């Protein structure tokens, strides 16, 4: 099922099955980009992308700067990410936050049908490496594709639900849990604003700060493990940029720090869930 | 005894090898003087490979090399000034000084590094060849790597993928017998590297890497096969480095006698002796070569010394394509 799309056009030359050689087919994507193509490499899942980390970190992310700007690498790498399907510890990673640590690449986390299509289209115009993390849970999502898909930007977070009492900041598969939590919170009289980060690198901090300065409270929801999570980065930047606007400490809802287990009740317990988000928001809002 | 049919050509090969050797000797001196820092991997003893191999490639063929690539860039034609400035870390270097010794780049000569993770360049060469293949261009992508790289998965994956897709990749193994300090027989069950190509149904050859004329003819044959569109080729150069892996190591992994034995087969010495025996090389001719090389090196050092540092304000320039962020 590995696919190596040399261009969006179909055909056996341009859509290629590859061997299970993640490091080499991602590296070949880098080389093909250096050679003037615009490759789209599908590594299937983030779990297998670990086998290609050398090419991603040491080549894709360095060659432009290290060569003094002589080379561009217009490469797209797609992969599924996330847990929740009872596939065990080796197929349930959420490592987009790791990737967002790396300068010189763009990290996208589409969470809507429009972004799933639109971000891929927009990425085809990017001159530098783009990594698209598609939460596996979202592949089953139904939705109307609107015209906006043909003009989405790759630089802004989106307010998916406006609100006044607290900013719920999330991305990817956690967006839908967070929106559901916001609905339940509304029943409790809490008007939550939901931000979908969409792009983890470069991070749209101004949109986050505008929201936090309005609500004075923030909860970050991230399926990654808490330690060193992307939620930690967002929290730190809120502290740096809006500390005196906060009425309560920034809270985080992340995965429990265990390898994600197979049985459903344990997997559910390991991941951010609607109830946990609601509880975290009550704790933050209760401090007013 | 090398076959020295074309005297001018043989003298040019000698000049190129000397040019690399003297450039690197000067680099080592500048390293000791603190002008060059970081890692500095010298190819002392291995010069016949870049000198013999690279002219067999066309100007629009691609080269992907390793962290021991000074000679490759020199033979490819990147001006010595730009290379010396790169070693200094100056903004006039071939990578604006950002790469240093291990990361020479030259887009105008299709020189894609200078990639310093062992075997990391092989997949990139496969991709460059894929781009040519899909664009119906008759170009070769040549990838240099050491014997240490054959222990990496990327070596095997790349040979397989290039063979599977019949891509024009020339895999060039510079086997100097040691992966840093680990002897080939300590890390490979099959020490005949060229034979590893059999597993991927790739044609291969092994050649004396100390004999520049043998390197030249074997590489030309390999380039011809690859350019004919029959897929990749693995060529193993059997060579030896006389100095440490990087600037200093304890060299506990080999004996002084072994090094001395290989020095008897120094490629510069082999070719010089052959040319002297035929009366082509005299002290006067050699002096002239050496003087011209010394002048070129002195000029490169002066240039590097006088060159400016990249301003700190430009630190984050080129992380992304301009206008992107």
The closest CB to that of A35, out of B113, B132, B154, belongs to B132
CB-based contact, A13 to chain B, within 8 Å: yes
Token readout for B87 is: 């070693």
- E-state strands within A46-164: 76-81, 106-108, 130-135, 158-161
**pLDDT at position A13, please?**
84
B232 and chain A in contact, CB less than 8 A: no
Question: Min CA distance, B121 vs chain A (Å)?
Answer: 8
CA distance A27 to chain B (A): 5
Pairing mode, strands A15-17 and A158-161: unpaired
Measured between CB atoms, does A66 come within 8 Å of chain B?
yes
Mean residue pLDDT across chain B: 96
Catalytic residue numbers of A, as ranges: 22, 91
* Contact assignment for A59 to B107 by CB distance below 8 Å: no
Task: Provide the pLDDT for residue B238.
Answer: 98
Contacts of A66 in chain B (CB under 8 A): 95, 98-99, 103, 105
Per the CB < 8 A criterion, the answer to whether B232 and B196 are in contact is: no
For an interface test with B, give the residue of A67, A102, A126, A203 to mutate (most B CBs within 10 A): A67
- A64 and chain B in contact, CB less than 8 A: yes
pLDDT at B1: 46
C-beta atoms of B120 and A66 within 8 A: no
Which residues 43-102 in chain B show a CB within 8 A of chain A? 62, 64, 93-99
> From CA A32, how far away is CA A34, in angstroms rounded?
5
Whole-number Å distance between alpha carbons of A177 and A156: 21
Q: Give chain A's radius of gyration (CA, Å).
A: 19
CA A22 to chain centre: 21
Please tell me the predicted confidence (pLDDT) of residue A143.
Answer: 87
For residue A270, what are its two tokens?
Answer: 């390991």
Q: For the residues B50-79, what does the mean pLDDT come to?
A: 98
| Cβ contact A67–B117 (<8 Å) | no
pLDDT at A4: 45
Of all residues in chain B, the one with the smallest CA distance to A13 is B134
The answer to whether A67 contacts B126, with C-beta atoms less than 8 Å apart, is no
Q: Do B130 and A127 touch (CB under 8 A)?
A: no
Domain boundaries, chain A: 3-151, 158-285
What is the arithmetic mean of pLDDT over B105-118? 97
Per-residue model confidence as pLDDT tens digits over B274-304: 999 999 999 999 999 999 999 999 999 999 9
Within this chain, domains A3-151 and A158-285 share the same CATH topology: yes
CA distance, residue A277 to nearest chain B CA (Å): 33
Q: Which of A251-260, B162-171, B250-259 shows the lowest mean pLDDT across its residues?
A: B250-259
B 154-213 near A (Cβ less than 8 A)? 154, 157-158, 160-161, 164-165
Residue A17 sits at the chain B interface (C-beta within 8 Å): no
- pLDDT value at B3 more than 80: no
Q: Output the pLDDT for position B250.
A: 86
Contact A32 B127 (CB under 8 A): yes
CB distance A19–B157 less than 8 Å? yes
Decide if A37 and B164 are in contact by the 8 Å CB cutoff: no
Task: Give the number of C-alpha atoms closer than 13 A to the C-alpha of residue A225, restricted to the C-beta side.
Answer: 12
Cβ within 8 Å, pair B320-A104: yes
Using the Cβ of B325 and the Cβ atoms of chain A, whether some distance falls under 8 Å is answered with yes
Question: Which chain A residues have a beta carbon less than 8 Å from that of B155?
Answer: none
- Which of B 111-130 lie inside 8 A of A, CB atoms? 112-113, 115, 117, 120, 122-130
- For residue B322, is pLDDT > 90? no
Query: Looking at residue B91, what DSSP letter applies?
Result: T
Task: Report chain B residues whose CB lies below 8 A from the CB of A16.
Answer: 165
Which pTM was predicted?
0.95
Q: Which residues of B touch A63 (CB under 8 A)?
A: 105, 112-113
Under 8 Å CB pairs connecting chains A and B tally to 150
CATH of segment(s) B7-306: 3.40.50.970
**Proportion of chain A in helix, strand, coil states, percent, rounded to 5:** 40, 20, 40
Fold category of A158-285 in CATH: Rossmann fold (3.40.50)
Query: Which pLDDT score, from 0 to 100, does residue A1 have?
Result: 32
Three-class SS state of A62: coil
Which CATH number is correct for A3-151, 3.40.50.620, 3.40.228.10, 3.60.15.10, 3.40.50.970? Answer: 3.40.50.970
Distance CA(A222)–CA(A217), nearest Å, equals: 17
Residues above pLDDT 70, as percent of chain B: 98
Q: With a cut of 70, list the residues of chain A below it in pLDDT.
A: 1-10, 287-288
């Amino acid at each position: 099922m590995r696919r190596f799309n040399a261009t969006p056009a179909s055909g056996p030359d341009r859509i290629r099955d590859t061997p299970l050689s993640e490091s080499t087919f991602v590296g070949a994507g880098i080389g093909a980009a250096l050679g003037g193509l615009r490759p789209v490499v599908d590594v299937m899942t983030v779990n297998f992308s670990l086998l290609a980390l050398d090419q991603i970190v040491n080549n894709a992310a360095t060659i432009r700067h290290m060569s003094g700007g002589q080379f561009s690498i217009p490469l797209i790498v797609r992969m599924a990410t996330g847990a929740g399907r009872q596939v065990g510890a080796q197929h349930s990673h959420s490592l987009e936050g790791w990737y967002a640590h790396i300068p010189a690449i763009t990290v996208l986390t589409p969470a809507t049908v429009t972004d799933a299509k639109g971000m891929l289209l927009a990425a085809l115009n990017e001159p530098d490496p783009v990594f698209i993390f598609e939460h596996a849970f979202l592949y089953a999502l139904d939705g109307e594709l609107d015209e906006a898909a043909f003009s989405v930007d790759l630089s802004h977070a989106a307010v998916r639900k406006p609100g006044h009492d607290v900013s719920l900041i999330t991305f990817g598969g956690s967006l839908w849990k967070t929106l559901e939590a916001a609905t339940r919170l509304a029943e409790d009289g809490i008007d939550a604003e939901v931000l979908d980060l969409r792009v983890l690198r470069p991070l749209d901090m101004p949109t986050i700060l505008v929201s936090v300065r309005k609500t004075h409270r923030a909860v970050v929801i991230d399926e990654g493990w808490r330690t060193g999570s992307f939620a930690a980065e967002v929290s730190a930047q809120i502290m740096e940029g809006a500390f005196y606007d906060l009425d309560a400490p920034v809270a985080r809802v992340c995965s429990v720090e265990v390898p994600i287990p197979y049985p459903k009740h344990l997997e559910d317990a390991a991941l951010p869930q609607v109830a946990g988000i609601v509880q975290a928001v009550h704790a933050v809002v209760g401090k007013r | 005894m090398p076959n020295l049919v074309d005297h001018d050509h043989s003298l040019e090969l000698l000049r190129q090898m000397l040019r690399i050797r003297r450039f690197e000797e000067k680099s080592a001196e500048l390293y000791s003087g603190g002008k060059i820092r970081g890692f500095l991997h010298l190819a002392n003893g291995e010069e016949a490979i870049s000198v013999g191999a690279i002219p067999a490639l066309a100007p629009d063929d691609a080269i992907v090399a390793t962290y021991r690539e000074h000679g490759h860039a020199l033979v490819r034609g990147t001006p010595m000034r730009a290379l010396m400035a790169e070693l200094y870390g100056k903004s006039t270097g071939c990578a604006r000084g950002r790469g240093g010794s291990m990361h020479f780049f030259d887009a105008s000569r299709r020189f894609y590094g200078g990639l310093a993770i062992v075997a990391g360049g092989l997949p990139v060469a496969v991709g460059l060849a894929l781009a040519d293949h899909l664009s119906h261009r008759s170009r070769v992508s040549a990838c240099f790597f050491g014997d240490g790289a054959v222990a990496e998965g990327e070596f095997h994956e790349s040979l397989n993928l290039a063979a599977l897709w019949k891509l024009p990749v020339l895999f060039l193994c510079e086997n100097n017998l040691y992966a840093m300090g680990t002897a080939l027989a300590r890390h490979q069950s099959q020490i005949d590297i060229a034979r590893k190509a059999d597993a991927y149904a790739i044609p291969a050859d092994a050649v004396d890497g100390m004999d520049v004329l043998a390197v030249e003819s074997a590489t030309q044959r390999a380039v011809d096969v690859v350019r004919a569109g029959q897929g990749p080729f693995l060529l193993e150069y059997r060579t030896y480095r006389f100095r440490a892996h990087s600037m200093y190591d304890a060299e506990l992994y080999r004996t002084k006698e072994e090094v001395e034995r290989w020095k008897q087969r120094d490629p510069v010495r082999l070719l010089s002796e052959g040319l002297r025996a035929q009366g082509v090389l005299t002290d006067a001719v050699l002096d002239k070569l050496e003087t011209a090389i010394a002048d070129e090196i002195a000029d490169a050092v002066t240039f590097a010394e006088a060159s400016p540092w990249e301003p700190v304000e430009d630190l984050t320039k080129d992380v992304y394509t301009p206008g992107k962020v």
